[in-house]
Chain A
Amino acid sequence: MAETVQTDQLDNSDVVQRRTNWLRELTQHPAVSLTAILLLMWIILSRLSPYFFSLDNVLQITLQAAVVAMIAAGETFVILSGGIDLSVGSIFAMSAMTAGLVMQAKMPIPIVLAVGLLTGAVCGLANGWGVSKLQLPPFIVTLGTMSILRGFALLINKGIPIFGANPDFAFLGQGRVFDLIPVPSLVVLGVYILCWFILRQTPFGRFTYAVGSNPEAARLAGVGMSRQIISIYVLCGVLAGLAGMTEASRLSSAQPAGGVGLELDAIGAVVIGGTSLFGGEGNIVATLIGALMIATIRNGLNIVGIEAFWQNVVTGFIIILAVYLDRLRRLHGAA
């Protein structure tokens, strides 16, 4: 008797829950409040400068955000799994350099791209191996590889940039679809749709959250830990490699010293997006908004004519403010 009552209650609450859910989930979704803040920033900036809110400039912002956004997508997976990847800036340079070398050897574009992505994958493999097999803290492993890979990137061509991009290769970084939309922006869109889908609909995505929430529980539930962790770092490496080639293509040169400090922008974008640095909680769409926010600050302050050094100051404040707002939202949601 008592059991039936309980059952009914649960049934009911379930129906009610589904009805109110979409609205609540929408307003509670971190990406929504972030988008609101981003739009607010755009409104303020367009007040300050007539040039800001033009189609051209908005596309420009997406282009400026592209490199950080690609890296931040991979970084989101790593941070969701409870790790961190500091080596993305170095992988970025490594991939650009290996791709540049292959291009110098007059190899066809698909091979150039494959080599660049493969370089990222191998670097990610090394990170994942160190984390899962050597059982070292991700911070340590990637701090080490950050330095190692930077060294290799410089050694490859004795520290000299590789110039002379193939015009076909330039399309990746400089091309515009319909003479309007920058190719890197479209690549970013594709990357995020794919990553969103992976996190939501595939076991790989689900295990990423599980590993970050409680690694021991994930292992005991039957998740293959080494495979999962290594795959996550490989994915992050591949995306860093993609970003490296995009930048090389945009600049028509591969810079062995490029991408220094990129990991901080990428981590900043992830954190602005509300992903917990402890792992297990977060959202990739919000990371994209975070990356757009960072690019907006850079672009907007430029257009408004504020000294470039202020960009760092404002970016820092935005990171702290965003995480604080997210904390308030969580507290509110829990009470």
Chain B
Amino acid sequence: MDEKRAPLLEMRNISKSFFGVPVLQAINFDLYPGEVHVLLGENGAGKSTLMKILSAAYRLDSGQILIDGQEQHFKVPADAQTVGISTIYQHFNQCLDLTIAENIFLGRPPRTRFGLIDWRQMNRDAQAALSNVNTNLDARTRIGTLSIASRQVVEIVSAINRRTRILVMDEPTAALSEQEVKRLFELIRSLTERGVGVIYISHRMEELQSIGDRVTVLRDGRNTGTHKIAEMDLDSLVRLMIGRDLNQTNIAPLPDDMPETLRVENLTRKGKFQSVSFSVRQGEIVGISGLMGSGRTELAQSIFGVHPLTSGEIYIRGQRVNIRIPGDAVKLGIGFLTEDRLGDGLGASLSIRDNMSLPLWASGQEYVYGLFLNRRKERQLSNEYSRRLNVRATNMSMPVRYLSGGNQQKVVLAKWLIARCSILIVDEPTAGIDIGAKEEVHRLLINFTRQEGGTVIMISSDLPEILKLSDRILVMAKGHMVKELNRAEATEEIVMGYSLTSIKG
């Protein structure tokens, strides 16, 4: 990359707010031809907002976008495409039932003299474009039959075919194998050799050094600086991203005499898990570790009544209970924070307040005359908990879909705390939320158990998280509970070792 050449793209003093909350504050960002410029930042730091402004999906509040030194005034996304800006999102915009060629030429197919689609020409051009990037894909293959990696190649070929000069790639390697990542990087290099500028967004810090030329780190909507990647190490990048070193959270040891709150015996759901038994105590955080497909999520779902058990017994404070549907579990004081917040944790169109109070009402608490909602109590509780959990929102009657991932997760937590659940099952409680919000969630879980006498069962793929919070760790492999470890004896290697246990029979 040559600094003396004129920049392809300059974004100057870009600012944007939503609902009066500034999301981007005077961001400067530039891109030279033939460069890969990495954009780094936590969730909610403003990366995607900045890129949406570039592709004209959002309007900027103030600032300038210059291409080849010319100021641009985008009104609709098509304006950005016309000057050669293309974005490849994590979830591709492709028509699965159409062929590769149709997707490449979507919206502007070659025509015959009579204005009909010239299929021969289209397939030939598409095939030529494909072989240009050294793939052996057939242009007449339906997109829906392709692997993620191949579909990504098609996206890139479409972008080249649109004469793209600025290519934005959002988490392009999230779903790729190591081999596929290598091939993708070769393809990106062949693009930059032709003078295309690539803006590359990724959370995988390791891969940045092998693909990026420069890096810009956003934090809380501000640019913390642009650096040459070769001159940075990972630690300093993390520090730029979160603005400090990570805190050490300390947990007081659990007293020995805490009573048992939940005990399960020989739980089995055919094909998912077999004969799982364990018990948890008041004030305790028990981590469940295991690989994907080890049955940990299915176990939690069955305890909560989402899917029926084939056999087994559940006891709450020594009492045998029968949980057929989630409603039974909620009435027994169990809460379940699921992995997929928007999929099954929140009603996106409902307000923050209505989401927070739903399990409270579903468990039949706080009715007036046994029939009506106590809306004053609802307002008071939801305000109290959004303060305690530090939910950042301007307005409690705002639909929850406008919140960032971390704040949505806090709303899900709040709803179970408001419902006064005493046993909280959390499945990947910090997946996809940024480091700051993650710490807050950890603090909440510790507070819920140690101060308020709740019990937490935590499923997580994040081993450091499991090791940090759990008083005990239960390791699952292939549907079996293979090991119980104390806080003192657990290390990442040991937990991982047991996760890989092979079960016979």
Contact = CB atoms under 8 A, between A and B. Distances in A.
Contacts of A54: none
Contacts of A13: 394-395
B375 A201 contact: yes
Given A220-B338, A220-B344, A201 B373 contact: yes
Interface string A31-66: 000000000000000000000000000000000000
Interface string B70-110: 00000000000000000000000000000000000000000
A207 B367 CA distance: 14
Interface stretch (B224-232, B321-329, B483-491): B321-329
Contacts of B326: 219-222
Complex A-B, nearest 10 residue pairs according to Cβ-Cβ distance, in ascending order: A222-B330, A213-B347, A222-B362, A216-B344, A280-B349, A214-B347, A221-B358, A222-B327, A221-B359, A213-B349
Contact of B327 (A14, A224, A276): A224
27 contacts: A6-B392, A10-B387, A13-B394, A14-B383, A201-B373, A206-B357, A206-B358, A210-B354, A210-B358, A213-B348, A214-B346, A216-B344, A217-B358, A218-B358, A219-B325, A220-B344, A221-B359, A221-B362, A222-B326, A222-B327, A222-B329, A222-B419, A223-B327, A223-B358, A224-B362, A281-B349, A334-B402
Interface of B: 304, 306, 325-327, 329-331, 336, 338, 343-350, 354, 357-359, 361-363, 367, 371-373, 375, 383, 386-387, 390-392, 394-396, 402, 415, 419
A17 B386 CA distance: 15
Given A206-B361, A221-B362, A280-B348, 7 more contacts: A13-B394, A201-B373, A202-B371, A203-B362, A206-B354, A222-B363, A281-B349
A305 to B, nearest CB: 44
Residue of A216, A220, A276, A280 with most partner-chain B CB within 10 A = A220
B375 A207 contact: no
A247 to B, nearest CB: 32
Contacts of A3: 390
B373 A221 contact: no
Give the secondary structure class of A's interface. Answer: helix
A7 interface: yes
Contacts of A214: 344, 346-348, 350
B390 A210 contact: no
A217 B359 CA distance: 10
Contact of A207 (B306, B362, B402, B419): B362
Given A201-B373, A202-B373, A220 B336 contact: yes
A77 interface: no
A223 B359 CA distance: 8
A169 interface: no
A202 B374 CA distance: 9
Contacts of B304: 220
Nearest to A7: B387
A192 interface: no
A97 B486 CA distance: 72
Contacts of B343: 216
A207 B331 CA distance: 16
Contacts of B331: 222
Given A13-B395, A201-B375, A221 B350 contact: no
A220 B350 contact: no
Nearest to B343: A216
B359 A222 contact: yes
A217 B336 CA distance: 11
Contacts of A202: 371-373
Most A-side CB within 10 Å, residue of B347, B386, B394: B347
A129 interface: no
A13 B394 CA distance: 6
